[in-house]
Amino acid sequence: MAANCGAVLHGPYDVRIEDILMPEIGGDEVLVKMDCVGICGSDVKLYTTGCCGLDVLTEPIVIGHEGAGVVVKTGSRVTSLVAGDRVSIEPTQPCRACEYCKLGRYNLCVAPRYCSSMGVDGNLCRYYKHVADFCHKMPEDLSMEEGAAVQPLAIAMHACNRAGIRLGQRVLILGAGPIGVLCAMTAKAMGASQILMTDVVQSRLDTAHELCGAGLCTMLVKRDSPEQEMVDNIQGLLGQPDVTIDACAYASAQRVAMMVTKTAGVVLVVGIGDSKVEVPLTQALLREVDVRGSYRIVNTYPSALAAVDSGAINLKKFITHHFPLQRTKEALELAKSGDAMKIIIHLDWS
């Protein structure tokens, strides 16, 4: 078996391709030869700042958590997978014993061992071990690139489930980055009748329109646009949205979301922003606007794989750029620029 290596983040802007130890699997784990790994916005935040949400980089870690590969070895208690199976990796390994795991909300586990979070290496490496029941066998027709890109789709599907999107609803999505676009694609598949997406970059909106097709309207906004003006413009195009999804995590977007959403509607925050923001909470609460968070993934990986396999969600055009492992830093810089939708790192490319 070839030596292992991976993309190791040592600090802000300091990512190195290094030799790392070959994992030794336990009885309920599998060893995966990684094929494709996507670059996520949280990877970019770790790369540029050394922190993301509650995670603060204190020691070098292998980054990456959007992965697909081939099982090469199985643990003694694994019966669901065999060597040669192509798998998409759901990047968590929850404790299964805490209150939240027992409720089925394992995304809120107190010790989730989430890929590329503090103390847990990610899967942007040639060989990676993971618990078998969070490695999902891929349909035969899915490419490895799609298998990696299923991870952000599963996040978007959890967000839309949390928002309670139903047939015929009007949905506003603030931010046309990867998660925002996947939320739009998912909301459309769930039956939203009208979807409006905003962003400060026209090229992102153009890409979103190409990916989502008919039924998506877009609105370019300026970074310094007055918030009430944004509310008026949104309502002029869409009316009052039943659901607003904040997929950009800016405080101004969260304020607009609470102002613009229909009375008794839902504001869903999926982007990770600053730890403290100022929002018009009282105004929203007096209108019984439900403000909800969405965190990571829970029970949406199988549905995401099925949606892609059936053609309900098309990830092929969502994937826009490809790099070999050795050019990971270049890939992170491109992701930081905002000029790419989804970047895939190919572990077998030279």
Q: What is the pLDDT of residues 123-180, one digit of tens each?
A: 999 999 999 999 999 999 999 999 999 999 999 999 999 999 999 999 999 999 999 9
E strands, the chain, in order = 5-11, 14-19, 29-39, 51-52, 55-56, 61-62, 66-74, 86-89, 127-131, 135-137, 170-174, 194-199, 216-220, 243-246, 266-269, 290-293, 319-324, 342-346
If one counts the domains in the chain, the total is 2
- If asked whether residues 198 and 260 sit together in one domain, one would say yes
Residues 6+ apart with CB under 8 A from 299: 104, 158
> How many residues are there in the chain?
350
Q: Is residue 200 part of a domain?
A: yes
Weakest mean pLDDT among 183-187, 234-238, 275-279, 342-346: 275-279
- If asked whether residues 126 and 172 sit together in one domain, one would say no
Q: Residue 1 pLDDT > 50, yes or no? A: no
* CA-wise closest residue to 332 among 45, 115, 121, 68: 45
- If asked whether residues 168 and 107 sit together in one domain, one would say no
pLDDT at 331: 98
What pTM did the predictor assign? 0.95
Using a 10 angstrom Cβ sphere, with 0-12 exposed, 13-18 middle and 19 or more buried, the burial of residue 192 is buried
Neighbours of 310 (CB within 10 A): 10
- If asked whether residues 112 and 170 sit together in one domain, one would say no
Q: Average pLDDT of the chain?
A: 95
Q: Is residue 150 part of a domain?
A: no
Q: Is residue 99 part of a domain?
A: yes
- If asked whether residues 112 and 216 sit together in one domain, one would say no
- If asked whether residues 18 and 98 sit together in one domain, one would say yes
Q: What is the pLDDT of residues 32-49, one digit of tens each?
A: 999 999 999 999 999 999
E strands, 294-335, in order = 319-324
Domain range spanning residue 85? 5-143+316-346
